[in-house]
A and B are shown apart, each in its own frame.
Chain A
């Protein structure tokens, strides 16, 4: 086995957020390793805790949010207790983020060239002249022309897709080791989305950073991710390589997410829906919280939180169904058909 180049690690992290309504346990024991050149896709619905995980990697928890236990390691140094001052040395320099709305990263009153140069000057401590050259180079890398007009233009002159490219340039200006993408394409058109994904893949090959790609769209994430982690109610319920998630899913929530992909569903039938809604994590009950919505719940699911069972060296599932004492269940028929189609696509490499 090659020695893994682990850039960052989250170890059994718990995050609580104090709100008027009570203390929300947003993240309840998550562990992930981030390797250079590899992308982890994080899939979950709203309220699953995936955004909190992203923000905590930048020290950007909201007011009232705090890490209650667990560790975050960057280059083997624990950083979960970092002060804001210490975070400033990491944020935007070693760890960068792209947001769903690129305007979260861009100053509407500054030209894009100046913003880029400024970011480079601050993170790499070079002269403005040198920074300007690098900025133009970055613009070219993200697909914009490296011309003086572009340099002196403002964000509002661009469409959403182009702004996202500029935001990506900003994020990469410091040559980060870890890049977090929080639903960067959700607000974009399909064709723009495809271009941005292509761009990120290309840049990862060049810069070699580890990427955490957060989304709710499994199909989208499959294009980029080497591994996929499925999050529900603040915990990872399944974590495997992309192939394993689609071809050998084990957790009922993963089955539900896969069944819900519209593309595979026949027109003459009702769309697959998961009954109910994600739980509010204030004083959550014990156990696997998806069992309240699942057809495959076991008695023990309501009493004890399932540990991770290893299905393969790269595939772990937090589900009591994997316990040898559990009855064997089969996944829904439609999902089995879907998997068959995917397998034959894989083998024949034909387009459907």
Chain B
């Protein structure tokens, strides 16, 4: 029988283990997948983007094809959502309208992110006079009555898709710049920045390789939450006739066009309105969930 009171030679300790936590983005993805609201929003957005990309193959009809024999017809097996005042298939127009909305939203947000990032980064990192100048510029752009100026810009530039990107992008970068500036101002005092500097890194190196990855999660959230505004802005401008040129289908235009028929053919406005509302809602909810998922403080250590 083994004597339980024998000394056991000490086994060497296995090398210090490392607790595995994932990459912030992988973890965020896992969290979002589990959240029913985030998942629904993601699916809806995916549907919108796919419709936008593959519109010519998905839409049952050419959105501009006028079938004057049956204007404003009720939903039927041939036209699931009916036809508009020119006999064009509403469903097809909505699908092509998604193209406009998505491209304007994503395109303008991209411009916003780029301008906002660089302005915020340089202001926050350089500090001093440069910061004061840029902050002043940010203030100016932040105080513009957004839509009015978009209207003015379009007047000047003329209607059209690219001008729409520019107008919306140029006017809404201030919020992003402010957030980036604040983050950079606190990050630049972190010791890893000192360490890099001591190593001989240049300012550019520090800004792009160290600060940018730390600011990226915020940029993603800001862009996601800026998209609803862009969608609504595009719709508003198109409603006012300042968006894309007719006859290109656009949700805003369709809402305008549906106005006279609110009583006789409400489905026209309702369908468009609901689709727009769902898109805006989806991006807002996703942005909100993304903010929580990407928050470094919530990621355990």
Direct contact of A and B (CB under 8 A): yes
Residues of B within 8 A of A294 (CB): 10
B7 and A325 contacting across the interface, CB-CB below 8 Å: no
Task: Provide the residues of chain B in CB contact with A295, threshold 8 Å.
Answer: 10
Number of interface residues of B (CB under 8 A): 13
Q: What residues on B are CB-neighbors of A292 within 8 Å? A: 11, 13
Are A327 and B13 closer than 8 Å at their CB atoms? no
- Chain A residue, CB-CB nearest to B6: A299
In whole angstroms, what is the CA distance A231 to B11 when docked? 23
By the criterion CB–CB under 8 Å, are B10 and A298 in contact?
no
Shortest C-beta distance, A45 to chain B (Å), equals 15
Given A20-B300, A277-B16: A297 in contact with B4 (beta carbons within 8 A): no
CB-contacts of A261-302 with B (<8 A): 275-277, 291-302
Measured CA separation A323–B5 after assembly (Å): 9
Question: Does residue A34 face the partner (Cβ distance < 8 Å to B)?
Answer: no
Chain B's nearest CB lies how many Å from the CB of A64?
13
B8 at the interface (CB under 8 A from A): yes
The reply on A326 being an interface residue by CB < 8 A is: yes
The reply to whether B300 and A296 form a contact with Cβ atoms under 8 Å apart is: no
Q: Is the CB of B8 within 8 A of A299?
A: yes
A298 near B4 with CB under 8 A, answer: yes
On whether the beta carbons of A297 and B7 are closer than 8 Å, the reply is: yes
Interface of A is mostly: loop
Query: CB of A320 within 8 A of chain B?
Result: yes
B283-301 near A? 1/0 per residue, CB < 8 Å: 0000000000000000010
Contact with B along A299-340 (1 / 0, CB 8 A): 111110000000000000000100101110100000000000
- A300 surroundings in chain B (CB, below 8 A): 4-5
- Choose from A293, A302, A326 the contact partner of B8 (Cβ within 8 Å): A302
Contact with A along B1-45 (1 / 0, CB 8 A): 011111110111100100000000000000000000000000000
Report the separation of the CA atoms of residues A277 and B13 in the bound assembly, to the nearest whole angstrom: 9
* CB-nearest residue of chain A to B2: A299
Please tell me if the beta carbons of B2 and A297 are within 8 angstroms of each other in the complex: no
Q: Which residue of A lies closest to B13 (CB)?
A: A276
Contact partner, A297, options B8, B13, B300, Cβ 8 Å: B8
Q: Hey, which chain B residues are within 8 Å of A327, CB to CB?
A: 5-7
Give chain B nearest CB distance to A298 CB in angstroms: 5
User: Using Cβ atoms and an 8 Å threshold, which residues of chain A touch B13?
Assistant: 275-276, 292-293
Query: In the complex, A277→B3 CA distance in Å?
Result: 29
- Chain B residues lying within 8 Å of A325, measured Cβ to Cβ, are 5
Q: A294-B10, A297-B10 are in contact. Are A303 and B5 (CB under 8 A)?
A: no
Alpha-carbon separation in the docked complex, A329 to B7 (Å): 10
Of B8, B11, B12, B16, the contact of A298 (CB 8 Å cutoff): B8
In the bound complex, what is the Cα–Cα distance between A300 and B2 (angstroms)? 10
The contact of B5 among A277, A291, A298, by CB within 8 Å, is A298
C-alpha spacing A79/B2, complex, angstroms: 45
* Residue among B10, B13, B16 with max Cβ neighbours from chain A (10 Å): B10
Residues of A within 8 A of B2 (CB): 299
* Bound-state Cα–Cα, A323 to B3, Å: 13
CA A299 – CA B5 in complex, angstroms? 6
Cβ-defined partner of A303 (8 Å) among B4, B6, B11, B16? B4
Q: Name the distance in Å between A161's Cβ and chain B's nearest Cβ.
A: 26
Residue of A nearest to B10 (CB): A295
Min distance, Cβ A46 to any Cβ of chain B, angstroms:
13
Neighbouring A residues of B5 by C-beta, 8 Å: 298-300, 320, 323, 325-327
Minimal Cβ-Cβ distance residue in B for A293: B13
A298 and B12 alpha carbons, distance in the complex (Å):
16
Shortest C-beta distance, B8 to chain A (Å), equals 5
- Give, as a whole number of angstroms, the nearest-CB distance from B191 to chain A: 19
Chain B residues lying within 8 Å of A301, measured Cβ to Cβ, are 8
Q: For A323, list chain B residues within 8 Å (CB).
A: 5
- List chain A residues, Cβ under 8 A from B6: 298-299, 327
Segment 73-124 of A: residues with Cβ below 8 Å from B: none
Cα A293 to Cα B6 with chains together (Å):
16
Give the 10 A-B CB pairs with smallest separation, nearest first.
A276-B13, A300-B4, A326-B5, A325-B5, A275-B13, A297-B8, A299-B4, A299-B6, A295-B10, A298-B5
- Residue numbers of B with Cβ under 8 A of A are 2-8, 10-13, 16, 300
**Inter-chain pairs besides A20-B300, A302-B8, A327-B6, 14 sampled, C-beta below 8 Å:** A275-B12, A276-B13, A277-B16, A293-B10, A294-B10, A295-B10, A298-B5, A298-B6, A298-B7, A299-B3, A299-B4, A300-B5, A301-B8, A327-B5
27 contacts between A and B (CB under 8 A): A20-B300, A275-B12, A275-B13, A276-B13, A277-B16, A291-B8, A292-B11, A292-B13, A293-B13, A294-B10, A296-B7, A297-B10, A298-B4, A298-B5, A298-B6, A298-B8, A299-B2, A299-B4, A299-B5, A299-B8, A300-B4, A300-B5, A301-B8, A303-B4, A326-B5, A327-B7, A329-B7
